[in-house]
Amino acid sequence: MPILSIMSYIMGNHRVPDWRAEFKRLDGAYAPATMKSYVTDVRLFVEWCEHRQISALPTDVATVCAFLEDQAVFLCPSSVRRRLYAIRKAHRLLRLPDPTFDEDINITLRRVRRAKANRPKQAKGMTRDYLDKCLNAQPNNPWGLRNRAMISLGYDLLTRRSELVALRTDDVEMREDGTLRVIIRRSKSDPFGMGRIAFSSSRSADLVQEWLAWRGAEVEPLFCGIYQGKPINHALGTTKVKLIIKEAAAAAGLSPEDVAAFSGHSLRVGAAQDLLCAGYDTVAIMRAGGWKSINVLGRYLEYAEHNVWA
């Protein structure tokens, strides 16, 4: 029998427990995106095992190693590691013996990383020059009002797209100097909602005020959807942020290569790069953007280094 152990073959005849029901216990404890990833990863693992007629839950070390190596053919190392974490979580929720801490698992992950030793793909930063072009290219209609305000505020606050769409109207406060004080209540690096305070430019404050004057006071999300020319009381999705940024770049006449390189993360990346070029140190930038890891921030900033010394 190839690679997979005899124990996996024997266990393969037993029925897979209702792992989906167990994952519902995590509702509210993890971000919706994390939950979605966990469910997808476990489902793929279970289907992979069923196709080979071996046990998924519980499973053994050899099966997990074989699965990870199989996934590494078309996934990046971080995605392979996420698959492992999902399998681990499923076993722990079901209170099954967990094989995922075995040393052979660690060796397999190292093998996967060494086989694909490449740099993480970096979103193109929407720095100030790109930002101005994208804002000026927005149409004079409700969609343009919303998109201008959202793009400008997202840049000022160095937000992730999930943070941007999560903003509520009462998270924003106008200050006497014509800027905004904004509380970002929850983020990827702040899962328990300690929150951080950020401040906008006067331009963003004006654009947000224009948008709110059209949108009205009845809508809870700061940036809502628009249907048949009317605001709806429903927040935008994170995918929509990415689409709006790309459409703004295309409308500004940027090259197809630039449009393709922008993502929902581009506002955060570009603002961080501009702050470095303006002379701010990494501690100030980390505080402004809510970063916990200097390594992640460092990847964003290295693309701005040549501007610092120009």
- Residue pLDDT, tens place only, 280-306: 888 888 888 887 777 767 766 766 654
Closest to 83 (Cα-Cα) out of 43, 55, 47: 43
Give per-residue pLDDT as tens, 120-162. Answer: 567 788 999 999 999 999 999 999 999 999 999 999 999 999 8
The pLDDT of residue 291 is: 77
Query: What pLDDT sits at residue 4?
Result: 43
Average pLDDT on 249-271 reads 93
Written as six digits, the tokens of 275 are 């702050």
Phi, psi angle pair for 102, to nearest 5°: -65, 150
Token look-up 């053994």 returns 60
- Which residues, including other chains, have CB under 8 Å from residue 145's CB and lie 6 or more apart? 207, 210, 211, 214
Task: Kindly state the helix (H) or strand (E) to which residue 196 belongs, with its residue range.
Answer: strand 196-199
196 has which bridge partners?
Answer: 184
The pLDDT of residue 240: 94
pLDDT, position 235: 92
Residue type, 123: A
Q: 231 has which bridge partners?
A: 226
> Does the pTM exceed 0.95?
no
Q: pLDDT tens-digit profile of 37-86? A: 999 999 999 999 999 999 999 999 999 999 999 999 988 888 999 999 99
Tokens of 153: 């505020």
- How does pLDDT run across 165-176, given as a tens digit for each residue? 999 999 999 999
- For CA atoms 296, 299, 304, 305, the dihedral sign is positive
Task: Report CA-CA distances (Å) from 50 to 23, 24, 45.
Answer: 20, 23, 9
What is the DSSP secondary-structure string of 198-226?
A: EE--HHHHHHHHHHHHHH-SS--BSSEEE
CA gap 59, 44 in Å, rounded = 14
Q: Convert 241-305 into a string of H (helix), E (strand) and C (coil).
A: HHHHHHHHHHHCCCCHHHHHHCCCCHHHHHHHHHHHHCCCCHHHHHHHHCCCCHHHHHHHHHHHH
**Is the model's pLDDT at 17 over the cut of 50?**
yes
Its sign, for the CA torsion 48, 54, 59, 60, is: negative
> In this structure, are strands 224-227 and 230-235 parallel, antiparallel, or unpaired?
antiparallel
Per-residue model confidence as pLDDT tens digits over 174-215: 999 999 999 998 766 556 556 789 999 999 999 999 999 999
Taking residues 240-252, what's their average pLDDT?
A: 95
Are 234 and 221 spatial neighbours (Cβ–Cβ below 8 Å)?
yes
Which phi and psi (to 5°) does residue 119 adopt?
-75, 145
Structural domains for the chain: 6-115 (1.10.150.130), 128-308 (1.10.443.10)
